[in-house]
Amino acid sequence: AAATAAPEKKEFWRWQENTWFDETKNWKDAKIITCGIDVGSVSSQAVLVCDGELYGYNSMRTGNNSPDSAKNALQGIMDKIGMKLEDINYVVGTCYGRVNVPFAHKAITEIACHARGANYMGGNQVRTILDMGGQDCKAIHCDEKGKVTNFLMNDKCAAGTGRGMEVISDLMQIPIAELGPRSFDVETGPEAVSSICVVFAKSEALGLLKAGYTKNMVIAAYCQAMAERVVSLLERIGVKEGFFITGGIAKNPGVVKRIERLLGIKQVETKIDSQIAGALGAALFGYTLMQKQ
């Protein structure tokens, strides 16, 4: 008898990859086209800016190799719109892989790029930015032009980051996009998990399930712990009005609403995908540099 194929393992942590471009515009009409590439630990984004305005982007999972992730991210949007690399005037790389974007003209730190991107996305009232990345978390202060005035980061541990959420998603066997909404589907908000270390949180979560917690209660406890951890980082730098969240976790209402509750302020809303802030900032820096030339 023919061997039966092993059932495909469901990857609950796999978030939605996303490509978008502005169908009302034609990039061929632009005088200056710049590109920002943000190769992060978990996700990679390529953003195209035409004459200083967001035109399109591709957001996808980072592979094992930064140069390839950079190429694939850009290729994903260029293929959609019929563009070639030589059509782009200037490329800026940022984040972990910034030195590994082989076709970049310049590399700029992700702190500067997230502030610049948040300023574009949330407007010039943005003053405090929380960047919740795949493996680190940053609190940034900026001025009305999106220039960084101060920052703090937690990069010692994957807790309070996208990677931590992926671990919980896989453990609970619940798709990552459902975690936030399900965290509110509880009768009373459970205590935050005591240890938010990803390694220990895993065993603690299993312990809570054994003790009779529902999956939703465990998710709520984890979202609460994540929010508390992030707020302690924000409180060390001080939160000014005009609060804006960037990074993949900004899409998780279970964490965002709890952060807002703890801080007593609402974040500035945007219609643009929060995950592209770094790459968008990089592309905008590219536009400024091109104008100077």
The pLDDT of residue 163 is: 83
Let me know if the fold of 31-123+275-291 is the same as that of 128-263: yes
Enter the tokens of residue 65: 């190799």
Contact call for residues 198 and 136 (beta carbons, < 8 A)? no
- The radius of gyration of the chain from alpha carbons, rounded to an integer in Å, stands at 20
Contact call for residues 115 and 142 (beta carbons, < 8 A)? yes
Domain range list for the chain:
31-123+275-291, 128-263
Choices 1.10.10.10, 1.20.1250.20, 3.30.420.40, 1.10.10.370: CATH for 31-123+275-291 = 3.30.420.40
Amino acid code (one letter) for 10: K
The CATH architecture annotation of domain 128-263 reads 2-Layer Sandwich (3.30)
How would you write the pLDDT of the chain (293 residues) with one tens digit per residue?
555 555 566 888 888 899 999 999 999 999 999 999 999 888 999 999 999 999 999 999 998 888 899 999 999 999 999 999 999 999 999 987 778 899 999 999 999 999 999 999 999 999 999 999 888 899 999 999 999 999 999 866 666 688 888 888 999 999 999 999 999 999 888 888 776 566 777 888 888 899 999 999 999 998 998 899 899 999 999 998 999 999 988 999 999 999 999 999 999 999 999 999 999 999 999 999 999 98
DSSP string spanning 169-183? Answer: HHHHT--HHHHHHHT
> pTM value?
0.92
Enter the tokens of residue 179: 């975690």
Residues near 234 by beta carbon (within 8 Å), at least 6 away in sequence: 128, 130, 139, 259, 263
